[in-house]
Amino acid sequence: MAELRPHFAAAAAALLLLLAAVSGASHCSSSPQDLSLVKNISELPQDNYGRGGLSHITVAGSFMHGMKEVEVWLQTFSPGTRTPIHRHSCEEIFVVLKGSGTLYLASDTHGKYPGTPQEFSIFSNSTFHIPVNDVHQVWNTNKHEDLQVLVIISRPPVKVFIYEDWFMPHTAAKLKYPYYWDEECVQASRKDEL
């Protein structure tokens, strides 16, 4: 029994160090303060990140939760709100929870610029996917109701290339990384080497 006491003491010390580290962790940490498996979405951080008409919640993310293969967002767009025209090197799946709008998709990633996009009506209970590097934009074209979508992306964190219009050359698209909701977490994880 006496032989177990040093091992128990070492394990207890390690557990106390882990608890101290977790208690000081921010929402950006891969070891968040809330270790519960089931979480209430309404209690997760929500923001518009300086983009009027948008509400974004990272349900499960690479920077916030240590996800490596997928990331899940809940986004609400007020009437008239839209994403920028953009592309990224990940697959993306949308599930429209409520509202309606328009998906603009330009599948010609091998040309010099996206070109005129195809228009697709999206509506409550519809789903669609965006192939890797296809230029697209989601727009709440409904004047009377919010558009709410659940978004799943592969290979997080996402690096986004933003276009001013559909005829901007691919080579001129502006890289946005980290993306708006990841900025705080990336800055928090940078350490001074001194």
Q: How far apart are CA 171 and CA 148, in angstroms?
A: 32
For 75, counting Cβ atoms within 10 Å of its Cβ (0-12 exposed, 13-18 middle, 19+ buried), the class is buried
Ordered DSSP codes for 12-41: HHHHHHHHHHHHT--TTSSS-S---SS--G
92 is in an annotated binding site: yes
136 is in an annotated binding site: yes
88 is in an annotated binding site: yes
Which residues are within 8 A (CB) of 109 and not within 5 positions of it... i.e. 6 or more apart? 87, 133, 134, 135, 170
Residue from 128, 72, 126 nearest 118 by CA: 128
> Are the C-beta atoms of 56 and 48 separated by less than 8 Å?
yes
> Are the C-beta atoms of 154 and 109 separated by less than 8 Å?
no
Binding-site sequence positions for Zn(2+) = 86, 88, 92, 136
Binding-site sequence positions = 86, 88, 92, 136
